Structure 1
Amino acid sequence: MTDPIHDRKAGMNLRDELLGTARPVPEYSLVLPSGWAEYDATAESERELVRLASTRLRQQHRPDLDAQLRALTGRAFAGLRSANTHRIYLQTEAWADELVLPLSITAAVRTAPGGGTLDGVVAELIRDGATSLHGDKRFVRWERDTTVAVGTTTVGQRTAAYLTPFPDRRTKALQFTAVAVHPVDDPTEAWRPVVERMLELTDAVVSTFAWRAAA
């Protein structure tokens, strides 16, 4: 089950509009799964997500984790803002079985180095193993595995990234990055098929992406 199509465009601040120093991300549409929501990388969104997570911790009788949550969220949003993140997509409402996926998708603007096109970047990604999105040549897709410290715990991250050029200029692209979190201390790797299903979901979400025609 999916939510209605979301139409998105980036805002420009007044100074940028008056001076013409920045161009917004072109409008696009994306279909999100049921229970998912969209946020930007502002302090207001950070406070809202902390509020939602704090409520869930209280419901799970773990208010002791609230301070750690706030610190981790603050660092995460600082990283998102420094990475020129445009939008954040994640599940905010549990499904019928109370499941909330440890999964998020971000959309960030990627700019070609030196003011050129992104053709060289794409060629290098393909040499390193990137492919189209299941035959959808609008996107170059690649995966990577990392570990990250979360408080006193280390967790694994499977990341899938999807790069598509802006429709009106090849010097910029929109990069969707999906991150699925999993344990690293399970020798049976029972998490692996779960992570694969989560990335199948993000593949399906990104495949609904479409640039909106200019008015």
Structure 2
Amino acid sequence: MTDAGAGRGGDPMNAPEGSTERISLRAELGAAPDPDFTLVLPPGWIRRSVDGAVEKDMLGAMRSRLMQAHRPDLYAQMDRLLRDAFTQMRRVEAVAMFVPSADASEALYLPASLTASIQRAPAGENLDAVVREAIAERGATALLEDKRFLRMETDEVQTLEGERVAVTTVMYLTPIPGSQRRRALRLVLVIMRPVDVPADDPPMVAMRTLFDLCVSTLAWLPAGDAASA
């Protein structure tokens, strides 16, 4: 396992973390920054930021791999999918993503993605109502009986590039220390599989269990310390 350290409407569980102006105002007012975090990841996985430089780097690496595999025909499709993924992450204002390292020979490649973002309560409120609704209406439970983490799982069939795929989404929510439950770290795991593979297929269960265990290792660090964790 590898260790990784992130700093920081409609469906309340999928609400974005807030505007850039709001974050800037918080900084201008001298508010203390939220703590960073670290967690154990699958072998060969690393934490990466969600910015233009990382997107450009990943697009270049993908193009090189496809050229080496003599599959330039897939480039346009994969380029669009990767750009769409970054657009979606920016829409929800993700602060980090966790992926296999292209340089790690032992990297465990899985049909899964894990992203982190910050969920904020409306001004003057906390996230207690969101938690109550998730438990009452969506079957959310404590992660591995640890009440610091709320875990909610959904399973649905989606159409991607004209093909139907089964998608399992697991959302984890835990309050940020010092936020008076007004802000929470939100980790979202997405696992894809063929539609003829059931959700309780042993490899799928093992994959969900693996990431449950990874998220359960989350530890908070002083702001800015994640990079050295």
Q: Which of 164, 172, 183 is the equivalent residue of 1:162?
A: 172
Change (3 A) 1:58 1:162: same
CA contact (8 A) 1:144 1:159 kept: yes
Cα drift, residue 38 of structure 1? 1.3
SS at match of 1:124: helix
Partner SS for 2:177: coil
Instruction: Name the aligned partner's letter for residue 186 of structure 2.
Output: Q
* Aligned partners of 1:161 and 1:177 also within 8 Å: yes
Distance 1:131 1:172, change over 3 A: same
**Corresponding residue number in structure 2 for 1:209:** 218
1:51 CA drift (Å): 2.5
Structure 1 position 101, deviation (Å): 0.8
Contact 1:148 1:155 in 2 (8 A): yes
Pairwise CA RMSD: 2.9
Contact 2:37–2:221 at 8 Å: present in 1 too?
yes
Aligned pairs for 1:53-72 within 5 A: 53-72=62-81
Q: Check if 1:131 corresponds to 2:129.
A: no
Indicate which of 107, 116, 124 corresponds to 1:115. Answer: 124
Q: Aligned residue for 2:83?
A: 74
The number of residues matched between the two structures is: 209
Question: Who is 1:183 aligned against?
Answer: 194
SS where residue 98 of structure 2 aligns?
strand
Q: For each residue in 1:116-137, what CA deviation from the matched residue of structure 2 results, as whole angstroms up to 9, or x when unmatched? A: 1101100111112111011111
Matched residues in 1 for 2:94 and 2:30: separation? 18
CA distance in 2, matches of 1:133, 1:28: 17
Q: Which residue of 1 aligns with 2:5?
A: 7
- Which deviates further from its counterpart, 36-45 or 18-27? 18-27
- Residue 173 in 1 paired to residue 184 in 2? yes
Shift of 1:177: 0.6
AA matched with 1:105: L
Change (3 A) 1:69 1:7: same
Identical columns (%)? 36
Would the aligned equivalents of 2:154 and 2:168 in 1 still touch at CA under 8 Å? yes
The equivalent position to 1:37 in structure 2, one of 23, 46, 57, is 46
1:37 shift after superposition: 1.6
Normalising to structure 2: TM-score of the pair?
Answer: 0.79
Does 2:76 align with 1:85?
Answer: no
User: Which runs of 5 or more structure 1 residues have no equivalent in the other structure?
Assistant: none
Q: Tell me: CA distance 1:59–1:16, structure 2 relative to 1, closer, same or farther (3 Å).
A: farther
Ranked by relative contact order (alpha carbons within 8 Å, sequence separation 6 or more), the top structure is 2
Separation of aligned partners in 1, 2:65 and 2:108: 12
**Structure 2 unpaired stretches of 5+:** 9-19
Conservation of the 8 A alpha-carbon contact between 1:72 and 1:150? no
* Deviation per residue, 1:119-177 (Å, 9 max, x gap): 11001111121110111111000100123332222222111110001111111100101
Say which of 127, 137, 141 aligns to 2:151. 141
Name the TM-score, length of structure 1 as normaliser.
0.84
SS at match of 1:113: coil
